[in-house]
Chains A and B, each alone.
Chain A
Amino acid sequence: MTYDPEVKYQKSHEWARKDGTLFTVGISDYAQDSLGDVVFVELPVTGKVVKKGDAFGVVESVKAASDVYAPLSGTIVEVNSKLKDDPSLVNKEPFGAGWFVKIQASNPSEYEELLSATEYEAFVKGL
């Protein structure tokens, strides 16, 4: 199980990577492992405005379907269209090619409220 130290997490297992006020969002290695083989990812349309904690998409394996929640408020400016053809990217590279969306944050300070990799790892181990 990997916990990318470059990103921050929330307890519903999404991560966010900061690049100025633009944030790339995906699900954690722990999340993809619990789901099993991902077969489908439902993503929002670009331009959609989300609040922190809103469900913006769905990730599905053959046995489960989970909502994906926005770790920050803002506007969805890009979605990972590669997931449509190859949802297994979520399993293979959860912190890389398996990213879900990019959010232009309206309140970038929300990033500070997220968990660090060590905090998140401790949280997961307590589950």
Chain B
Amino acid sequence: MIPYIPHTDEDRRVMLSALGLERVEDLFQAIPEKHRKPVIDLPPPLSEAEVVRELKRIASRNTTAEETAFFLGAGAYRHFIPAALEAIVSRGEFLTSYTPYQPEASQGTLQAMFEYQSLLADLLGMDTVNASHYDGAAALAEGVLLAYRARGGERKTVVLSSALHPEYIETVKTYIEPFGLRIRGIEEGAWRPEELEGLVDETVCCVVVPFPTFTGTLLVYRSLCMATHEKGALFVVSVDPISLALFEPPGSFGADIVTGEGQCLGSHLSFGGPGLGIFATRGELLRKMPGRLAGVTCDRRDKNGFVLTLNTREQHIRREKATSNICSNQGHVALRAAVYLSLLGKTGLRKVAELTYRKACYAAERLGSLSGFRVTSPSPFFREFVLQCPISAEEVVRRLVEHRIVPGLPLSKYYPDRNQELLVCVTELNTREEIDRLAEALRGIQAKRENR
């Protein structure tokens, strides 16, 4: 018996006889007989208790951020998630509803979407935020495509900062390949605003930069943005939303398109997904923007309500001329972000960002003062910095894991020649005691070397 199929033998008998059939298989006659009903070599069904036991066994093979001193970030971040958030978002009315195509039956989802769009627009300082994209990487890739289209499809060069997340760069490459766009900036290793400025000319449709960089450095882009506009190109920023509680949002200095990863706003690490693709534009790009939008309107009695709007941009109407093929997005993750921003609010989010900033400074000071170690990230940085180690960073990770410390990401994962560099991430959840313990453990590594 399967608890998710309610049919009794009697039900099946009544239904089949109404259809004039004997066996349910008779309904599958259109499938070619020689391929019909193949052997499916899957394990036999399990009861719920057995399933839970098996999944707990599998889950126990992971080392989690909760049972270690955890300093790994690099695009997926651990920030505190209030219990009230879990309680709200696990409500079935949110979790088990569909895309709000019937607005009268979906005002809850639609208003929550509208509030998400509003809270993010305010945080980013942008005119329009869509109801979400897949993740920070895919959002950035479609941001580049939007810039390309907005510039009439004639400018075929994209300037990418080499300090973007390496997986985002890979994703952008996948998405732009069919359009024959060229990338400038990666091979050159350009990431400083003045270096990037030198790469912009009339063939460029957009300049794409991270805030902060993949390794945590904060940069000022105002003049690069102006120079980009002077050449007739669009300025695209991939942001960390929490950093924007402290620093000038890209909308303030003229960014045309802002994308980002919103997992840090109230979602779990969850092995890298689902994330939240933040996607924002300036006003005039609105009608070329991909993704759903909730808007305000009213009913016949002049009561206000919400609908999905500007649908003609989308695939179900515009088909091959749509601004994107996206339909399912990350709605429930966007809800998490809206609830997170509502709970944390003006003061809470700022405190989280301040604590994160401070603790990363403290950690950098502690670790950078250790004999044999050196912080190589240009200052200032937010949440993450690069620690140059006396031995291979992978070796550092291996040794510290034995002390239940995950000290960061060896940069050799993405840059094979950066063998001794460790990307250390600190958030408000890392205590001073953990940071000190990390420092002690690293000191132990160096002490061992010196004793040799």
A binding-site residues for B, Cβ under 8 Å: 39-40, 42, 60-65
Contacts and interface: CB of A to CB of B under 8 A. Distances in A.
Interface of B: 287, 311-312, 317-318, 321
B317 A63 contact: yes
Nearest to B319: A65
B317 A65 contact: yes
Given A63-B311, A65-B317, 4 more contacts: A64-B317, A65-B312, A65-B318, A65-B321
A42 B287 contact: yes
13 contacts: A39-B312, A40-B287, A40-B312, A42-B287, A60-B312, A61-B312, A62-B312, A63-B312, A63-B317, A64-B312, A64-B317, A65-B312, A65-B318
Contacts of B312: 39-40, 60-65
Contacts, number: 17
Interface of A is mostly: strand
Contacts of A65: 312, 317-318, 321
A62 B311 CA distance: 7
Nearest to A61: B312
A65 B318 CA distance: 7
B230 to A, nearest CB: 20
A42 B313 CA distance: 12
Contacts of B317: 63-65
A60 B286 CA distance: 14
A61 B312 CA distance: 8
A115 B317 CA distance: 29
Contacts of A63: 311-312, 317
Contacts of A64: 312, 317
A103 to B, nearest CB: 20
Nearest to A66: B312
Q: Which of B311, B312, B317, B318 has the most CB of A within 10 A?
A: B312
B292 to A, nearest CB: 14
